[in-house]
């Protein structure tokens, strides 16, 4: 997969020992959400076969269906990436290799301090 440069990440759950089990207790996953207000980045993501979605207010909100704008007044798109912690090998579920979280020198780093709005290469 291609490397997406200089993206804002949110809800990073990449601790090898604690994949997120919120959506599946049987097969927790490592995940993060990318957000951009740059239409060029949105097109770059789409060019890699990814499907960024326009962020809109949810049902029941007074602005339901309207785009959620950034602090600069721009539309925003989001993209969720995930990897299951278990994989199927010949009909048997076995542990998958955790997501690698590295610095610019490719040295491993602790993913837990990565906070919402951190700029990363994914």
Span 66-83, average pLDDT: 96
Give the model confidence (pLDDT) of 5-53 as tens digits.
Answer: 999 999 999 999 999 999 999 999 999 999 999 999 999 999 999 999 9
**Residue-averaged pLDDT of the chain:** 95
What is the model's pLDDT at position 25?
94
This model's pTM is above 0.75: yes
Cα–Cα separations (whole angstroms), residue 88 to 85, 92, 94: 10, 5, 6
What is the distance between the alpha carbons of residues 100 and 21, in angstroms, rounded to a whole number?
19
User: Please, which residues bridge with residue 83 across strands?
Assistant: 30
**Higher pLDDT, residue 111 or 2:** 111
Q: Reply yes or no on whether the pLDDT at 83 is more than 80.
A: yes
pLDDT tier at 96, thresholds 50, 70, 90: very high
What is the model's pLDDT at position 2?
84
């Amino acid at each position: 997969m291609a490397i997406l440069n200089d993206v804002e990440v949110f809800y990073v759950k990449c601790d090898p020992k604690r994949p997120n089990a919120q959506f599946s207790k049987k097969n927790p996953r490592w995940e993060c959400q990318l957000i951009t207000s740059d239409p060029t980045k949105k097109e770059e993501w789409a060019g890699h076969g990814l499907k960024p979605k326009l962020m809109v207010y949810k049902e029941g909100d007074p602005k339901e269906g309207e785009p959620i704008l950034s602090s600069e007044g721009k539309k925003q798109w989001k993209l969720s990436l995930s990897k299951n912690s278990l994989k199927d090998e010949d009909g048997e579920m076995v542990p998958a290799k955790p997501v690698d979280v590295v610095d610019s020198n490719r040295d491993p780093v602790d993913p837990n301090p990565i906070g919402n709005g951190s700029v990363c290469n994914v």
